C-alpha cells in the first residue's frame, strides 16, 4: 500500500496561518503528553492520519520510523497511510476522523466536528489533539515542497509543483516563523479564540 504523494498543495499564506495556529496550540499537545492524557501512540496515529490526507513524502517516512520505534505494527502504519481506520482503537476513532477532516479542510474544520471532539474527550484533551494535528500540518505543508524539491534534484519528474513554488515555500519559513511567533504571543495575551471554523460549511449545516 503506497502513500499517495502531494495530495494537497498549500500556498505561502496558508503556511503562515498553519504556523500561527500550530504555535498557539503546540503547548496543549506537550501538556497532554506530559500528563499522560495522550499517549505517544495516539499522537503518531493522528500524525500519520493527517499525513495520509496531505500526502507528504518526508513526513510519511519520518513518522513511519517514529511509529515503528514506538512499537506500532507495520500493518497498522500502512493502513493509516492508506486511509484505512479498521485497527484504530475505538476510543481514538473520533480524534482520527477529526484529524482527517481538519487536513481535508486545510485547517478550517466545521464547528460541529470540533464540538464532537470536545464532547468525547473534554476540552483539555481536545486541545491536545488539536495541537498534535496542527503540529503535523506545519510539517506536511513545509515537507511537501521540500520533498518535491529533493525529488526534482534527483531527476524525478514532479507534476503537481514547480521549482519556483518549491524554493519560495522552502525559503518562506525564514520571515514567516518569527512573525507567526509574535502573532501567537499577542493572540494568547488577548485571549483570542484558539480555533476558527469553516463558515461556508457551517452555513450549509445550519441551513
**pLDDT by 10s per residue, the chain, length 207:** 344 577 889 999 999 999 999 999 999 999 999 999 999 999 999 999 999 999 998 888 888 888 888 888 888 888 877 777 777 889 999 999 999 999 999 999 999 999 999 999 999 999 999 999 999 999 999 999 999 999 999 999 888 899 999 999 999 999 999 999 999 999 999 999 999 997 665 555 444
* Separation of alpha carbons 20 and 22, rounded Å: 5
207 domain residue, yes or no: no
What is the DSSP track for 106-149?
TT---HHHHHHHHHHH-HHHHHHHHHHHHHHHHHHHHHHHHHHH
- Written as nine digits, the cell of 17 is 496561518
The pTM assigned to this predicted structure is 0.90
Q: Are 57 and 48 in contact (CB under 8 A)?
A: no
Q: Could you tell me if 131 and 27 are in contact, meaning their C-beta atoms sit under 8 angstroms apart?
A: yes
Residue 188 is assigned to a structural domain of this protein: yes
- DSSP run (H or E) holding 96: helix 93-104
- Rounded CA gap, 100 and 107, in Å? 10
Q: Per this entry, what is the length of the chain?
A: 207
- DSSP letter at 195 equals -
The secondary element (H helix, E strand) that includes residue 187 is: helix 163-189
Q: Is residue 202 part of a domain?
A: no
Residue 44 lies in a domain: yes
Residue 115 lies in a domain: yes
Count up the domains in the chain and report the number: 1
> What pLDDT shows up at residue 66?
87
Domain presence at residue 36: yes
* Residue 157, in any domain of the structure: yes
State the sign of the Cα–Cα–Cα–Cα dihedral 125, 54, 80, 90. Answer: positive
In a domain, 46, yes or no: yes
Task: Specify the pLDDT at position 89.
Answer: 86
Domain residue limits at 182: 15-196
CATH number of the domain encompassing residue 118: 1.20.1290.10
- How far is it, in rounded angstroms, from Cα 128 to Cα 190? 21
Give pLDDT, residue 204: 56
Amino acid at each position: 500500500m503506497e502513500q499517495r504523494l502531494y495530495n494537497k498543495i498549500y500556498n505561502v499564506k496558508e503556511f503562515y496561518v498553519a504556523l500561527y495556529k500550530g504555535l498557539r496550540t503546540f503547548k496543549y499537545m506537550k501538556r497532554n503528553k506530559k500528563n499522560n492524557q495522550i499517549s505517544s501512540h495516539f499522537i503518531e496515529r493522528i500524525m500519520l492520519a493527517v499525513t495520509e490526507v496531505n500526502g507528504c513524502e518526508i513526513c510519511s517516512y519520518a513518522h513511519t520510523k517514529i511509529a515503528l520505534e514506538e512499537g506500532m505494527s507495520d500493518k497498522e502504519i500502512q493502513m493509516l497511510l492508506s486511509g484505512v481506520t479498521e485497527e484504530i482503537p475505538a476510543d481514538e476513532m473520533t480524534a482520527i476522523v477529526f484529524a482527517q477532516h481538519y487536513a481535508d479542510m486545510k485547517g478550517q474544520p466545521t464547528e460541529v466536528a470540533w464540538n464532537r471532539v470536545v464532547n468525547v474527550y473534554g476540552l483539555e484533551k481536545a486541545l491536545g489533539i488539536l495541537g498534535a494535528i496542527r503540529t503535523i500540518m506545519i510539517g506536511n505543508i513545509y515537507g511537501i515542497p521540500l520533498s518535491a524539491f529533493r525529488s526534482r534534484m534527483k531527476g524525478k519528474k514532479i507534476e503537481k509543483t514547480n521549482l519556483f513554488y518549491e524554493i519560495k515555500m522552502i525559503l518562506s519559513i525564514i520571515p514567516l516563523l518569527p512573525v507567526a511567533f509574535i502573532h501567537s504571543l499577542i493572540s494568547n495575551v488577548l485571549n483570542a479564540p484558539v480555533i476558527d471554523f469553516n463558515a461556508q460549511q457551517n452555513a450549509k449545516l445550519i441551513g
